[in-house]
A and B are shown apart, each in its own frame.
Chain A
Amino acid sequence: MRSIAIPLEGVVPPRTDESELIAELKAGSEEAFAYLLAVYRNPVYGLVYHMIGNENDAADILQNIFVKIIRGMRTFHAESSLKTWVFRIAVHEASNYRRSWFRRKRREVFSLDDDDREPVAVRIDLSSSVKTPYEELEQSERQELVKIALSGVEEPFRTVLLLREIEGFSYNEITAVLRVAEGTVKSRLVRGREILRQKVSSLLAENGKK
């Protein structure tokens, strides 16, 4: 019996020609969309999760993003790269979602049971039960703080930080995704990094580690 879910196993042959992939996507090739899913679902989910801060909502938004990609593929004229286009849709969807008051309220309700909102101390205790070298533990603790600090960075600085630091986008790519000038990207990055550094410092101070 054929599965109703699009299969992803063994569908990630490296594709060198993006135009060929785009042509297949426009033709509605299931294999091409499986490839697209296999390549982009995790990075897009990571970005959306960091922008929204909730696992369930991020999963819902991820679905909407890929539905929009499928529906919008016919109107995609390859003026930007496929990666940029996919991430532009992702950022747009996540931003729209965040702006919605109703959904924000719902997210707050969900966040009561959200494991990701555990206190830092608890997380550190959990991770410290695993036998790891001291440096790894220290980095792991710092990363937890960075993650919390990141959730406190306001938009639009957070999205620029995510695209640059986590996804490794170049200034040009961020410019294309956000449709803003390169100078704006740079200034947001400067500001975002500064906010993040300050928040990490204050979290470290709170934990008596500074």
Chain B
Amino acid sequence: MFETCLEIRRHFSDFLDNACGPAVRSSIRYHLSYCAACYGELERAHLVSSDLATLPRRGVPAEADLRLRVRVSQELHRNVLRRLWVRVENTLHALLLPASGGVAAALVLFMLMLRSLIVPANHSPDVPLPISTPPQVRMLAPLDFNPGNQPLVVLTEVGPDGNATGYHIISGAQTPEILKHLDRLIYFSIFLPATRFGKPAKGRMVLSLREITVRG
């Protein structure tokens, strides 16, 4: 295929790169099998190529590397808003640790203080001490009572001992039958007396009575 050594040596580059066709490759191999000069030439070419390929890689010097990264960073933040944001971030980053520490400390302190600030549930038998409280029904007497169609509104006077001392019908029917039942009902009912400054006192309360039916 090849006439001269000079001709074949033009293909050494492709041969080294494995870029020549099978016919050229076999021709070169055949030529090399008997031509020591070309064989030596190819060996030297291969040696130079491999020396070049295995040259120590040159890394960017440290100072140049830093300058490069700074330049790239500046270029990336050329936009005014982004640059401003970086400045804000830098400022916030400076405050981040003290601020976080402050918040964490405040939370811990608050939690510690919270325990002493919580008012425990009142289990003491203290009497509530508002200025005055009205009398209340503690238990209505378990008696049948029928005031008729209209409810019976009664102003009841309760003594300091919790017993009714009298009453006055404000509205409703006032038949003798009803009055008789009403007397019994109020007499046997138990009241909580009114208080003034925590002390039992005489008081009045309004009772509105409808039909009461006691089963049993």
Contact = CB atoms under 8 A, between A and B. Distances in A.
Interface stretch (B71-79, B163-171, B173-181, B202-210): B71-79
B54 A143 contact: yes
Given A59-B60, A62-B68, A70-B75, A168 B53 contact: yes
SS class of chain A's interface: helix, strand, loop or mixed? helix
A62 to B, nearest CB: 6
A139 B86 contact: no
A8 B14 contact: no
Contacts of A71: 75
Interface residues of B, number: 41
Contact of A142 (B51, B75, B76): B51
A37 B52 contact: no
B59 interface: yes
Interface of B: 10, 12-14, 16-17, 19, 44-45, 47-49, 51-61, 64-76, 86, 89-90, 93-94
Given A42-B60, A59-B60, A166 B72 contact: no
Contacts of B12: 190, 193
A158 B56 CA distance: 17
Contact of B90 (A2, A142, A161, A165): A2
Contact of A42 (B52, B53, B57, B70): B57
Interface in A104-151: 139, 142-143, 146-147, 150
A8 B68 CA distance: 11
Interface string A28-69: 101001000100011101100110000100010011001100
A70 B72 contact: yes
Question: Which 7 A/B pairs are nearest by Cβ-Cβ distance?
Answer: A59-B64, A5-B69, A190-B13, A6-B73, A165-B52, A5-B70, A146-B51
Pick from A2, A8, A50, A70 the residue with the most CB of B within 10 Å.
A2
Contacts of A30: 73, 76
Contacts of B58: 42, 45-46, 49-50
Nearest to B14: A186
Contacts of A205: none
A161 B52 CA distance: 9
29 contacts: A4-B74, A5-B70, A6-B69, A6-B72, A6-B73, A7-B69, A37-B69, A42-B60, A43-B57, A45-B58, A49-B58, A55-B64, A59-B68, A63-B67, A143-B54, A146-B48, A146-B51, A146-B55, A147-B55, A164-B17, A166-B55, A171-B19, A186-B14, A189-B13, A189-B17, A190-B12, A190-B14, A193-B49, A196-B48
